[in-house]
A and B are shown apart, each in its own frame.
Chain A
Amino acid sequence: MGGLTTSLLIGVQGLEASQAALDATSNNIANSNTPGYTREVPQLSSNAETDIDGTISGGGVTLDGLQSVRDELLNLQIQQQTSQQSSADTESSSLSQIQSLFSTSGDDLATTLTAFSSSLQQLSASPSSSSAQQGVLAAGQNLAESFNSTASGLVSAQSSANQQVTQTVSQINTLSQQIAQLNTEIAQTVPAGQDGGTLQDQRDQLVQQLSQLTSVSVTQSSTGEVITTGSGTPLVMGGQSFNLQTATGTNGMQQVLDSNGNNITASITGGQLGGAIQVRDTTLPGYLNSLNTLASQFATAFNSAQAQGTDSNGNAGQAFFTVPSGTAGAAAGISVALTSGSQIAISSDGSAGSNGNVANLSAALTNTLPSGQTPANAYANLVFAVGNDASNASAQSTAIGQSLLQLTNQQSSVSGVSLDEETTNLIRFQTAYEAAARIISTVQALSTVTLDMGSDQSY
């Protein structure tokens, strides 16, 4: 039966609906700066009309709930790009630290190599001058120290990348556990197939953080999200999380193991973890290897030039440099073996004034080493490699940053809270609320009129 009561009930529903819409608006405004928050819109639907004895009346309005506005595909793309960018960032920051080792600074290899070469040329002009001999010895020591400090700079960058691996793995585990927890909560509170609302916002935010640490692949299952690393090692399956572990490998570096103890270090890509592993296991060892090869081959060449001559004491030339046998650790371990300038094998004929062997010593600096490069070439190539890698990593980070910004813009245009929009909604819902309230007061007035009918009493 249509009647005043129906109008009153519909009016109350209108009030409630407007109230809920105002709540949603207010919540959106309150969370406009909350990271990861997805704007919510109230889902209103009109109730079915009722037809009682031919009298049709509207059924009013029902609030079905709040719907978060999100685009899952964009989220996936953002996760992928985030992994790539944070990997490039990690490489770039590590490389920019070691770059200073290769900049012209006064004790870099280019400078000490130059000084060593010059000191030999000076010795060629005054072979019997003890100050020229001492000059060669001191320049040789500086050169060896340059090798040492460059190698130790590279090794310390490597060990800080190694620390980063351990820390990142423990962060990944924390995030996996939190995501599994949220999966459980969502499964318990949200009916399957429906949007998880703010719980899902939180989970997306955590997955986003996880993708900063390593590349992940996210799929949906009946029990919630399934998250694996880019190479398929499970991290989260519904309410269960699988911790990664670290263990010291044969090379002394921390290896990443999956929950079953299998070594997955080599397959990890992307994110801080991927970047740190790339720098630690590929980039820096490459530089160290070039540096060690240079140190080892140069020392060997110089020592054999030294052996061709006679020193100022009339003895056959002894090794100038001590260098560890084998290439590994050559740059870190190289040192000058001679203790006095008089031990430099200057003479080719045994007499003290001869400079005949200096040409051989100098030639060790300009001739090609077994690597096929002169020492200067080999070092220049190393400088190029370091500069090029650093510049590529930073260019890559910038480029991905641009596309990531585009994607975030797109995501924000879908899910972000617009204060203008919310303000407009505020006015809209305010007006609707006022109108619904007016209905109630109208019905009240009409009820009074109805009750007053046929009575002299006024209600």
Chain B
Amino acid sequence: MRVNPNLVPDVLADLNQSQTTLNAALQEVSTGKSVNQPSDNPAAAAAMVENTIETGNLDQYTQNISSVLSTVQTADSALSNVVSSLTQAVSLGTQGANGTNSTTDLQSLAEQVQGILTDVVNQANTSYGGTYLFGGTASTQPPYTADASSSSGYTYNGNNDTNSVAVGDQTSVDINMPGSQLFSNATTNVLGSLSTLVSALQSGNSSTISSATNAVSSAINYVNQQRVFYGNAETQLNSQESYLQQETVSLTSQASSLVDVNMTQAATELTQAETANSAALAAAAKVLPDSLINYLGIPS
């Protein structure tokens, strides 16, 4: 069979091929990515869409945890202050109930307890980042305001609702407890017990003072029980944070295995492609000009 005398198309196709390989290898090394456009690896590109969205969500969940954690910690420390104020009120009440106090003494004790009541109300009106922590979801206004018509002297402006914040795809954490449950519950009314103690001290009746003091004591227990809610929320947030960290690591490594280049391999491939390309060019330069004419003298 006659041999194809025209080497040019073959040589060009080979040069083209080796140039394409070289370009691809160069792009992988210079971008550090093996998938630079969807057609490089359609499945990996599609998986990366979900990976990107999930990674974005995890970042945001992690940020949510740190901001929610501060809120929860602030609420917890406010409640801790409430407990120590109440404890102080109990000791003042106990002192008032021992029957040895003058009217002036009792009056001064009553004023101190009144001061504690104001403190507790201030704690109940704690806000963090412009959000009142104990007003339920009506968190844009102070939950407790002075109201002479109320038995405790304060009225609750909040509601009974709670907010929960997403900290994972299927996980959300309740982050607040309404003041109506914490401070002005119908059965254990923290503010009410303090204001009753003030009136009892002002009346000077030892037994009334004593029972009012007991009511404050049980309020302490009640508040301590409710604080467990915030403790649990903190624990849940911390464990969720470490879970998210692991998730982020695994998503990052998934992304890396999907689209990142194995540098050693890519660099080797680049070197191979360079060598192949130079070889193809050298071969073309050597083969193309050859013809019988080069070896025949010009006829004289």
Interface residue ranges, A against B (CB under 8 Å)? 95-96, 99-100, 102-104, 110-111, 113-115, 117-118, 121-122, 124-129, 347, 349, 351-356, 358-359, 362, 366, 376-377, 379-381, 383-388, 390-391, 394, 401, 405, 408-410, 412-414, 416-421, 423-424, 427, 430
B293 interface residue, CB < 8 Å from A? yes
Other A-B pairs, 18, CB within 8 Å; known A104-B48, A351-B139, A351-B140 = A110-B52, A110-B53, A114-B55, A118-B60, A122-B64, A353-B131, A353-B138, A354-B163, A355-B137, A359-B164, A380-B47, A384-B45, A384-B46, A390-B37, A405-B10, A409-B9, A409-B10, A412-B6
The chain A residue with its CB closest to the CB of B172 is A359
Would you list which residues of chain B between 16 and 65 have a CB under 8 Å from chain A? 36-43, 45-50, 52-53, 55-57, 59-61, 63-64
List chain B residues, Cβ under 8 A from A356: 137, 161, 163
Cβ of B214 to closest chain A Cβ, rounded Å: 35
Q: Is A413's CB under 8 angstroms from B67's CB?
A: no
List chain B residues, Cβ under 8 A from A408: 9
The chain B residue with its CB closest to the CB of A110 is B49
A413 vs B5: C-alpha distance in the bound complex, in angstroms?
A: 6
List chain A residues, Cβ under 8 A from B130: 128-129
List chain A residues, Cβ under 8 A from B197: none
A95 vs B138: C-alpha distance in the bound complex, in angstroms?
A: 54
Most buried by A among B39, B163, B291, B299: B39
Q: Is A352's CB under 8 angstroms from B139's CB?
A: yes
Q: Is A405's CB under 8 angstroms from B2's CB?
A: no
A–B Cβ pairs within 8 angstroms, 24 of them: A96-B39, A103-B38, A104-B52, A117-B57, A117-B60, A122-B60, A349-B137, A352-B138, A352-B139, A353-B137, A355-B137, A355-B164, A356-B163, A358-B166, A359-B172, A380-B46, A383-B49, A384-B46, A387-B45, A391-B42, A413-B3, A419-B292, A420-B292, A423-B292
Q: Is A420's CB under 8 angstroms from B46's CB?
A: no
- Secondary structure of the A contact surface, majority rule: helix
Q: Is B139's CB under 8 angstroms from A353's CB?
A: yes
Cβ of B52 to closest chain A Cβ, rounded Å: 5
List chain B residues, Cβ under 8 A from A100: 37
B4 interface residue, CB < 8 Å from A? yes
Q: Is A117's CB under 8 angstroms from B53's CB?
A: yes
Q: Is A115's CB under 8 angstroms from B140's CB?
A: no
List chain B residues, Cβ under 8 A from A359: 164, 166, 172
A418 vs B39: C-alpha distance in the bound complex, in angstroms?
A: 42
A387 vs B10: C-alpha distance in the bound complex, in angstroms?
A: 30
The chain B residue with its CB closest to the CB of A374 is B50
List chain A residues, Cβ under 8 A from B132: 353
With known contacts A412-B4, A421-B5, A349–B49 Cβ distance under 8 A:
no
Checking A125, A352, A355 against B63 with a beta-carbon cut-off of 8 angstroms, the contacting residue is A125
The chain B residue with its CB closest to the CB of A362 is B166
A249 vs B140: C-alpha distance in the bound complex, in angstroms?
A: 60
Interface residue ranges, B against A (CB under 8 Å)? 1-6, 9-10, 13, 36-43, 45-50, 52-53, 55-57, 59-61, 63-64, 67-68, 129-132, 135-140, 159, 161, 163-166, 169, 172, 291-293, 296, 299
With known contacts A421-B5, A423-B293, A376–B53 Cβ distance under 8 A:
yes
A354 vs B129: C-alpha distance in the bound complex, in angstroms?
A: 15
List chain B residues, Cβ under 8 A from A126: 67, 129, 131
List chain A residues, Cβ under 8 A from B10: 405, 409
With known contacts A103-B38, A379-B49, A416-B6, A401–B57 Cβ distance under 8 A:
no
Q: Is B2's CB under 8 angstroms from A352's CB?
A: no
Q: Is B48's CB under 8 angstroms from A110's CB?
A: yes
Q: Is A128's CB under 8 angstroms from B131's CB?
A: yes
List chain B residues, Cβ under 8 A from A118: 56-57, 59-60
List chain A residues, Cβ under 8 A from B161: 349, 351, 354, 356
The chain B residue with its CB closest to the CB of A366 is B169
Cβ of B137 to closest chain A Cβ, rounded Å: 3
List chain B residues, Cβ under 8 A from A353: 131-132, 135-140, 163
Cβ of B168 to closest chain A Cβ, rounded Å: 10
List chain B residues, Cβ under 8 A from A117: 53, 56-57, 60
A110 vs B52: C-alpha distance in the bound complex, in angstroms?
A: 7
Checking B13, B63, B169 against A401 with a beta-carbon cut-off of 8 angstroms, the contacting residue is B13
Task: Give 6 nearest A-B pairs by CB, closest first.
Answer: A387-B38, A353-B139, A418-B5, A387-B42, A114-B56, A354-B137
A358 vs B40: C-alpha distance in the bound complex, in angstroms?
A: 38
Cβ of A103 to closest chain B Cβ, rounded Å: 5
Q: Is B45's CB under 8 angstroms from A124's CB?
A: no
Checking B13, B138, B299 against A351 with a beta-carbon cut-off of 8 angstroms, the contacting residue is B138
Q: Is A124's CB under 8 angstroms from B291's CB?
A: no
List chain B residues, Cβ under 8 A from A420: 5, 291-292
Q: Is B166's CB under 8 angstroms from A121's CB?
A: yes
List chain A residues, Cβ under 8 A from B55: 114
Most buried by B among A95, A125, A424: A125
